[in-house]
Chain A
Amino acid sequence: MKLKYISFILAVGALAFASCEDKLDIPQHSVSAIDSYYQIDSEAEEGIVACYTALRTLHTGFGGLQDLGNLLSDDVWTGGGNHYDGVYYRLNDYIFDAAYGSISFLYNNLYVLVYRSNVVVENVTGESEVMKRAVAEAKVFRAYAYFYLTTLWGTPPLVDHTLEESEYMQPNGVTADLWAFIEKDLTEAINSGALTQKASKSDVTYRVTKQFAQALLGKAFLFQKKYSEAATMLDNVIKSNLYGLNPDLSNIGTPLGGMTEESLFEVHCLNDRSQSGANNNFKWTFMGLRGEKYSYTSDSPFASSTFGFVNPTKDLYDAFVSVEGVNGYRLNNTIVTREQMINQYGTTNIMEITDNEGYWNFKYRILRSIWAGYFYANNTRVMKYNEVLLLAAEAHLQSGNASKATEYINQIRARAQAPAVTGTVTMDQVKTESRLELCFEGQRFENLIRWGDAASILATNGQRNPALQTDGSVTWTSYNDPSECGFKVGKHELLPFPETEMSVNPNMVQNPNW
């Protein structure tokens, strides 16, 4: 009779025993969890590599950061097979809207860069050199992303950590806070002592450096009109003596002229077609000559199956001429004329070219010797020393040190083999110098906005466009209603937040007049 009680007690014991919660801890196969990742050097390095690739994305394909800056400026006509080729004319003519693809592409991918930087900053907590460098670099990348988000959109949400679901619907950020965040990130990165520095001018590094961070911080100060801070910060780069102007301008924009002493940071590509995804930048194919519109002799250095976008305006050409004359060394390595195309570069029998005034982009010419069936490994120059000098010159000029400004401008003039500025440099001269040195590099639009010159200079964009005729004459066509195109004050100072973003995030307020 006792047995039944014993059985019952055992059974009730079994009831309690069945609680084995640890049996539920079934790990996922073939994966690494975030929580435990980024704890050793190699993993931290993997995290920062993903930031480099995210930054690369911003410059991959036509419609990247620099193309946007070019097309929104007075330096180029859209080009292509015809005016309507692609949808890029909408930028150049100022008839784009919030649904425009390149704008949402850049907006989304700038935040991808922010996210990946946040992942590194949050998860890499070790104290090794590699880990500290990863965190410092991540802060530079984050600042880089916010620099463009802030200058282009004004009030993008400030996201300084990886978001929880409850935080997905961020409201607009405050411009001042965004600038403060950029300054903080860059200052911390610079002061960390962990960023790479070159050993000498001839040294090459593909990583972001302390000097790149300083240049970016200087630029950020300048954009906020904090001129003396800008001057000091940019002088740090100059005084480091690790960078200089490359006296040879002949390959300043081709694969042959990458990673010189002038380069502060380039998006690096290898001439490795087996990894075309990582190395090819399709935007170069867009920027080459419209192949079928020309006949070529064997002297032609140009790849011929390219698409013909981004043709220089005569206005830009004239700006060069005004500084250095038609035979200027820098001009001739930046823009070529119809006559030079035919006589010097073996490009004969030029047919009708839309969006062209008889000038071509020589700086970023696509070298036939390297271009291989839409594959063209050319580094994107993210920041060069000439820009540092130009920014520093402006900062010094605006903070009252005109002589220093003149000195910097004349260093650039000297390298360009252009006449030196006599007396002290003026702001207009700085602006022009900046336009010439940095043309086709996507800087012009933001500078015009910053200087307050956009309204006057860009007002007529899109009202009429040229077409180069076979005899070299230029005819003009109006593709748009003139009242609807061109830069509109109170609207185009900022880009619109993408339409998709506005539809998925009710907390966002659209920029004025979009």
Chain B
Amino acid sequence: MKKTVIQNKMKSLLAMVLLFFACIPAALAQETFNVSGTIINEQNEPMIGVYVLEKGTTNGTSSDIDGHYTLTVRENATLVFSYIGYVVQERLVTVSVIDVTLREDAQALDEVVVIGYGVQKKSDLTGAISQVKSDDLENRSITTVEDGLLGKTAGVQVVTTSGAPGAQSSIRIRGYSSNSDSTPLYIVDGLRTSNIAYLDPSDIESIEILKDAASAAIYGAQAGNGVILISTKKATEGVTRINYDMQYSIQQVARIPEVLNAEEFIQYAVTEGGLISQSRINQFYDGTTDTDWANVAFENGAMQRHNLSLQGANKSGSIFASLSYLNNDGPIIGKQDVHDRITGTINADYNIKPWLKFSTNNNFAKFKTTRVREGGMYSMLGSVMQMDPLTPVVYSKDNVPAHIQALIDMGHAFLTDENGDYYSMSPFQETNNVNPYIMRDGYQQQSEGFNFRGASALDISPWKTITFTSRLGYDFTSFTSYNLQWPHTVNTDTNYDYVTISASNNDNKYWQWENFVNYNETFKEKHNVSAMIGTSFSSRTTFGVTGSVSGSSSSNIGISKLDRNYAYFANATGTATKQVTGGEKRVYADLAYFGRLAYNYDNKYFIQASFRADAADLSILPMQKRWGYFPSASAGWTISRENFFKNMNLGWISHLKIRGSWGQNGSISGLGDYMYSSTITTDVMYPFTESTYQVGSRPSSTGNYNLQWETSEQLDFGLDLRMFKDRLAFSVDWYKKETKDLIMTSVISSAVVGNTISPLNAGNVVNQGFEFDLSWKDKIGDFAYALSGNFSTLKNEVTYIYPTLSRVAGNSGGSGVTCYFENGYPIWYMRGYEYLGVDPSDGSPIFNDLNDDGLINDSDKTMLGSAIPDITYGFTLNLSYKGFDLVVFANGTYGNDICYAVPRSTRIQANTLKYFYDRRWTTPGQNAEYIASSLPDYANYVQSSALVFDGSYFKIKQIQLGYTVPKGLLDKTRIFNRARVYVSLDDFFVFTEYPGFDPEVSMSGNGLGLDYGQYPTTRRATIGINLSF
């Protein structure tokens, strides 16, 4: 009964669509008759939604659910059958029944690529643009679009700084271009945005990555780190469909490094190392406890995603709507690492008039994230690695050990579990330990927010060759955070007897108005000209307030009652320390003019040039330097279209093209907040009388009114090749990208300057490399297979730094190996002592005394490694046989280093990796890999290459097996159009020599490659369903 209802509804919907088409006025003056038929594909399956058009008219229809169509046409008409991804067919109407079999279009060459303020045929490209399609994102247990790009295309690196639910990864296109941020520019359906975490991967139609400067130059001042254009899904003409995708994953920490168990720990820290005295063990150790903290801290997390989408389209318009829900509960025990997100998308367009089209793309997202502390000395993950195994998880409230009771008696606060039992504090390593549960429950870190984003446009085409577009983009974002630190004792070093609460609220309003005209015309069949010119104006208004309240002691806890229900500002006591910042409306704006001109002759010779002029507001750059001008030029030659080529009997090469491009892009990542300006500081005073002072004022800094855009200039040469009837596709690119005028702050100046120096344009970075993409696809009967791979090399080097800065220190991950920005080295390379091994006589470390002065000090530090991989690669294998499909996707890096930055010299009693333990020095004369358990010269040791590892890894990101129910079977249900179920193992297999958690995860920014307690990625076992109605 139910089935029938749905079936009837579908039919009436279809009828409406047909009715709609019937309303379109057709030229009915001539004699007409009806044509009908069935459209099937090569698998003999009926095709729904194939568009059937009477050539030269606007008269058309589309096929129904059974592939049937009927159309009234004039005499001698020609029918055009078209469907995306299939070869268009034309048939002269000679009979009244025309059945058609549509073949899939192997000529993907003529796919259209989004290029910024326009589109271009893939075969016309002269720049280096990579495309990632929805196929690569669908059904993966990834939660963000960024993660979906990992390993999918050459030249794009995804840097994961945390695997926590809701954490965002950073994308690096063609290396690291700035000492500040190297995040690319994101454009979603024309809207410029700084953050794409709100997008659900299932809503993505395609992602274009503009890698070379010429392609990106149309975005000028903000394109220096590359541009990522994201198009969300739109309805396909003639298709009305409801899709439902569901996915459920069980996740766990992918790799837990082994640390010492109780027996080993005693051997290491007590018997051999003497780090903990035997008397302490005698006094406090019960002889049986052997806590596996990883086991205590982690559990299986669960993640579920649902995506429901509706789409319908006809000749006049289309609508696509979707709603997604994501709930990701990470692997840390309890609900302290959870990310929730609801995303809705509505994309629609309509041809109001033949010359006027309105389109709109809108997205609404709401998200909420709860996190644990990660990274640094007091992080949940670091504590899992370092807490000794001799201490139990909790102490019964009825039997509190003396070392805890003493602190309780002093009035210090201890956290308890739900039974009221105390979370333990190690008696063995009192100043070193952190119970992971204390790290988890001592803090509450929450953030939530929503955004409404979108762009709506009017296209006016008074003539066929000209389209004017006026597009308004908008982005409203609200973000709040709430952080609580509850009274707790971490160890004998650190206790908090009071509450600290901080919370903030930030609102962002952004709008952009872009107007541009596209012109496309072909002269004499062979001269293809296209041109575009436009302007853009955007404005952002932000308003935020941050407040904090903090007590100072157990008698002044800061809030009126020690109850989490009272942990809000309103209950702050009069003696609490309160602070409010923000509350100031900030406005930013920019203005741009841009244009592009392209010409090709006979699709053989291509040239293209673009130009953009960008102006920044005064908070970014001074008035006289506000304008930046970003030109580009590119050219291509499709050799395979040459007659001589055709004469060379190279028929197996279907497409061969070489191309080259040059361009300049800007970057503002290091700029902002009026940093160039010199303002008046009134921080001095002088008495000119016997009793009063006069206030003095001085310039706060020198000011640098010559501050300008960071500019990257890039040269790119590429070759595209398709062979064997397009089954094999290959492309290679070489690029060299030099970013100049990096913004350097804290420049130490010559004293003669007499004031603090304002930031200068004073650094250059060069990235260069090769990128290869190779794919092969074929079909043998029912067996189809496709293999695609990509491979990129990268060489990154700082080539200039202001002469007064010998090297700029970045993050040190505590007290260990430090990252530096220095001329002649990769950006933020790791620097420290070169570890030569262990002195066989006493087990102490030997460092390379570079200047041979007999001392190991600062002047002996040298480069220990770089987190930037020499090579990154990825490959995807797709197999399908009848209803079964298999996807295997893997990626990897080679030649990058990672520093295990968890140990530090002030925490010698911490637990250590079994990896180090098994390779330690124990007996005189032994040639060991690592130092003795007594940790000799540990302060230098933790700053040495002993902790720097080869970070190369190979990961099988996905193995997915799916089964699609045959169409014939589905048709009988009369409900489903498509049904697929799948199981998947994601991030399950990792191959690396790194002994820490996860080689994929480490710090970014100025601590590149340092791993000090970052949240690792998880591995996930997933089941999923894809349904279409």
A residues apposed to B, CB below 8 Å: 3-5, 7-8, 11-12, 14-16, 18-21, 23-29, 31-34, 37, 43, 45-53, 56, 104, 107-108, 111-116, 118-119, 156-157, 159, 162-165, 168-170, 206-207, 268-270, 275, 278-279, 498, 500-501, 503-506, 508
Contacts and interface: CB of A to CB of B under 8 A. Distances in A.
A4 B356 contact: yes
Contact of B690 (A49, A112, A270): A270
17 contacts: A7-B462, A18-B535, A23-B617, A25-B617, A26-B619, A27-B618, A28-B679, A34-B699, A47-B697, A49-B686, A53-B696, A56-B686, A157-B752, A163-B754, A168-B757, A503-B804, A504-B748
A164 B458 CA distance: 49
A163 B684 contact: no
A111 B752 contact: yes
Interface stretch (B214-222, B484-492, B588-596, B769-777): B588-596
Contact of B686 (A3, A52, A501): A52
A6 to B, nearest CB: 9
A115 B704 contact: no
Given A4-B460, A52-B696, A268-B688, A32 B618 contact: no
B592 to A, nearest CB: 9
B750 A168 contact: yes
Contacts of A498: 751
A504 B804 contact: yes
A99 B509 CA distance: 53
Contacts of B699: 34, 119
Contact of A15 (B517, B590, B623, B752): B517
B536 A18 contact: yes
Given A34-B703, A165-B706, A169-B750, 14 more contacts: A4-B353, A4-B355, A20-B591, A24-B590, A27-B618, A33-B678, A34-B678, A47-B697, A49-B684, A52-B686, A165-B702, A165-B760, A170-B750, A501-B750
B680 interface: yes
Given A7-B460, A29-B584, A170 B752 contact: yes
A119 B754 CA distance: 10
Given A12-B468, A23-B589, A25-B617, A50 B696 contact: yes
B674 interface: yes
A138 to B, nearest CB: 12
Contacts of A270: 687, 690-691, 693
Residue of B466, B590, B678, B706 most packed against chain A (CB within 10 A): B678
A115 B757 CA distance: 12
A278 B619 contact: no
Given A8-B462, A47-B698, A49-B685, A18 B750 contact: no
Contact of A26 (B618, B679, B695, B749): B618
Interface string B656-696: 00000000000000000010011110101111111101111
B746 to A, nearest CB: 13
Nearest to B590: A24
Nearest to B620: A24
Contacts of B677: 28, 31, 33
Nearest to A23: B589
Contact of A31 (B680, B694, B757, B806): B680
Contacts of B748: 500, 504
B754 A111 contact: yes
Contact of A115 (B591, B690, B754): B754
Contacts of A15: 468, 515-517, 533-535
A53 B686 contact: yes
Interface of B: 353, 355-356, 458, 460, 462, 466, 468, 470, 513, 515-517, 533-537, 539, 584, 586-591, 593, 615-619, 623, 626, 674, 677-680, 682, 684-691, 693-699, 702-704, 706, 748-755, 757, 760, 803-804, 806
B5 to A, nearest CB: 44
B706 A49 contact: no
B702 A24 contact: no
A112 B757 CA distance: 12
Contacts of A108: 751
B237 to A, nearest CB: 23
B684 A50 contact: yes
A111 B751 contact: yes
A53 B685 contact: yes
B460 A206 contact: no
B618 A25 contact: yes
B128 to A, nearest CB: 30
A365 B920 CA distance: 63
A49 to B, nearest CB: 3
A168 B680 contact: no
A326 B804 CA distance: 56
Nearest to A118: B754
Q: Identify the interface centre among B353, B587, B749: most chain A CB within 10 Å of its CB.
A: B749
A50 B700 CA distance: 12
A93 B535 CA distance: 71
Given A46-B697, A49-B686, A506-B803, A26 B617 contact: yes
A45 B694 contact: yes
Contacts of B751: 104, 107-108, 111, 498, 500-501
A162 B748 CA distance: 17
Contacts of A14: 470, 515
Contacts of A278: 684-687, 693
Contact of A8 (B353, B468, B535, B618): B468
B752 A163 contact: yes
Given A26-B588, A27-B618, A506-B803, A111 B753 contact: yes
A162 B702 contact: yes
Contacts of B593: 19
Nearest to A28: B674
Contacts of B696: 46-53
Contacts of A168: 749-750, 752-753, 757, 804
A3 B748 CA distance: 64
B539 to A, nearest CB: 7
Nearest to B707: A165
Nearest to B696: A49
B698 to A, nearest CB: 4
A342 B626 CA distance: 74
B415 to A, nearest CB: 42
Given A49-B695, A268-B687, A503-B806, A32 B680 contact: yes
Nearest to A268: B687
A504 B749 contact: yes
A268 B679 contact: no
A498 B749 CA distance: 13
A112 B694 contact: no
A497 to B, nearest CB: 9
Contacts of A5: 462
Nearest to A500: B748
Interface-centre pick from B516, B536, B684 (highest chain A CB count, 10 A): B684
Contacts of B702: 162-163, 165
A12 B460 CA distance: 10
B684 A53 contact: yes
Nearest to A117: B754
Contact of B589 (A24, A37, A170, A505): A24
B508 to A, nearest CB: 16
Contacts of B753: 111, 115, 163, 168
A32 B804 CA distance: 30
A437 B546 CA distance: 61
B698 A50 contact: yes
A52 B682 CA distance: 14
A365 to B, nearest CB: 23
Contacts of A170: 750, 752
Contacts of B516: 15
A32 B679 contact: yes
A8 B680 contact: no
Contacts of A163: 702, 752-754
A66 to B, nearest CB: 19
A145 to B, nearest CB: 10
A34 B696 CA distance: 14
